[in-house]
Amino acid sequence: MKVIVFGGDGFCGWPTTLRLAKAGHKVMVVDNLSRRAIDDELSSGSLTKIANIRDRVAAAQEKIGDVEFCYLDIAAQPSELRDLIKDFLPDAVVQFAEQRAAPYSMIGDRERRYTVDNNIVGTHNICSAIVDVKPDTHIIHLGTMGVYGYSKKFGKIPEGYLGINITQTKEDTEILYPANPGSVYHMTKCLDQLIFQFYNKNWGLKITDLHQGIVWGVETPETKLDTRLVNRFDYDGIYGTVLNRFISQAANNVPLTVYGTGGQSRAFIHISDTAECIKLSVENDVFDNSRVRIFNQVSEVKSVAGLAEVLRKIYNADVQFVDNPRKELAENELEVSNSGLRSLGFEPVMLDEALIDDVRFVADQSKVNFNKNNVLTSPKW
């Protein structure tokens, strides 16, 4: 198949590109390299040494398969985006190209507006171009578990749609799960959902929205094949996801910084499983298109304190409880369905199994780049 990966230079997009190319698909990576620019802006960056995009793509062509690159800003260059889709004629597009850090979106006015403008406009530009240029293209979008909020108020979290009974008519029906964002970034993912509902209802666009858990880990079988293919690894207080921050702290013998009591439960997935789930979604593209297909792309649920405990036991790491910079419940329970992707053959990697290798790799890579001052940099909200 021909697949465009928007945001294919990023943490999830690059390993996914390689997984798709390995499976024999022809992949076009589209990226404006804005994440590399934000690294400079924040004086932070990947703990692993990542090759420039030219070298990455050359290595992918040598070692893996058919990968090309196009430098394009999907929010700011809608006509170039349309031309690209018209020329490449993709069977599927994968939309990773959004500003993805909740803390970054809460820094201030500039970052709030950038996150909304970039994420909503970019996603809408893709839908709008596809309607005119190639309406049978399958759109796969990375949403987040954060669209649901984190509670068991409505029971186990279903895949996108909540079964309800209407009091007035006594009718049973399903509605899009009530959105409950916890940051401007999460708000953009909730708004993306409405864009998809409308484009599916009005033009019948074929859309899969993947509500992904927090991604952890760094390597996949494909990124290990050449040093130029290595994936990025964020460990700072703004872009570092919680388990990756803990992994880098354990690898560098500094205390694991748990926000608040650590009683927040969250859903997690390993980076190699992210790539696998996208591949499964791309390849299984025959489904009931009368509504947006929504899957929860998660492997397991753990509390933040529970995660710290796993690392403390294996690595004898110290744990430090710090004030929670985020406005969120101190503690919550969470139960999440992932039956959709499992029905397509997804067999998740669980945390304890893969953790040891990832910590070793990160420890090795950290010797030069780990900067303790980047650990507690989250803004407060």
Ligand X SMILES: NC(=O)c1ccc[n+]([C@@H]2O[C@H](COP(=O)([O-])OP(=O)(O)OC[C@H]3O[C@@H](n4cnc5c(N)ncnc54)[C@H](O)[C@@H]3O)[C@@H](O)[C@H]2O)c1
330, burial (CB in 10 Å: exposed 0-12, middle 13-18, buried 19+): exposed
- We find the least distance from the C-beta atom of residue 32 to ligand X, in angstroms, to be 4
Task: Work out which of 60, 64, 75, 292 binds ligand X, going by CB under 6 A.
Answer: 75
Which of 10-18, 62-70, 108-116, 255-263 is the region at the interface with ligand X (rule: CB under 6 A)? 10-18
- The string of DSSP letters for 138-206 reads EEEEEEEGGGG-S--TTSSB-SSEEEEE-TTT--EEEEEPPP--SSHHHHHHHHHHHHHHHHHHHH--E
Q: Is 189 a catalytic residue?
A: yes
Q: 3-class DSSP state for residue 244?
A: helix
97 binds ligand X (CB under 6 A): yes
228 binds ligand X (CB under 6 A): no
Q: Smallest Cα–Cα separation from 7: which of 91, 111, 126?
A: 126
Q: Is 152 a catalytic residue?
A: no
Which of 93-101, 201-209, 248-256, 332-340 is the region at the interface with ligand X (rule: CB under 6 A)? 93-101
3-state helix, strand, coil in the chain (%, to 5): 40, 20, 40
- We find the least distance from the C-beta atom of residue 5 to ligand X, in angstroms, to be 10
Strand partners, 209: 141, 294
Which residues from 152-211 bind ligand X, rule CB under 6 A?
Answer: none
11 binds ligand X (CB under 6 A): yes
Name the residue with tokens 């499976």. 23
Q: Is 188 a catalytic residue?
A: no
Q: Which residues, 6+ apart, have CB-to-CB distance to 308 below 8 Å?
A: 246, 256, 258, 262, 317, 319
Task: Work out which of 4, 17, 27, 31 binds ligand X, going by CB under 6 A.
Answer: 31
Task: Work out which of 25, 42, 47, 73 binds ligand X, going by CB under 6 A.
Answer: 73
Q: Contact, 47 vs 248, CB < 8 A? A: yes
Q: How many residues bind ligand X (CB under 6 A)?
A: 26
Over the window 106 to 145, marking each residue x when it contacts ligand X by CB under 6 A and - when it does not, the resulting string is ------------x---x-------------------x-x-
Nearer to ligand X, 118 or 265 (CB): 118
Catalytic residue numbers read: 144, 185, 189
Q: Which residues bind to ligand X, rule: CB under 6 A?
A: 7, 9-13, 31-35, 73-75, 96-98, 100, 118, 122, 142, 144, 212, 214-215, 241
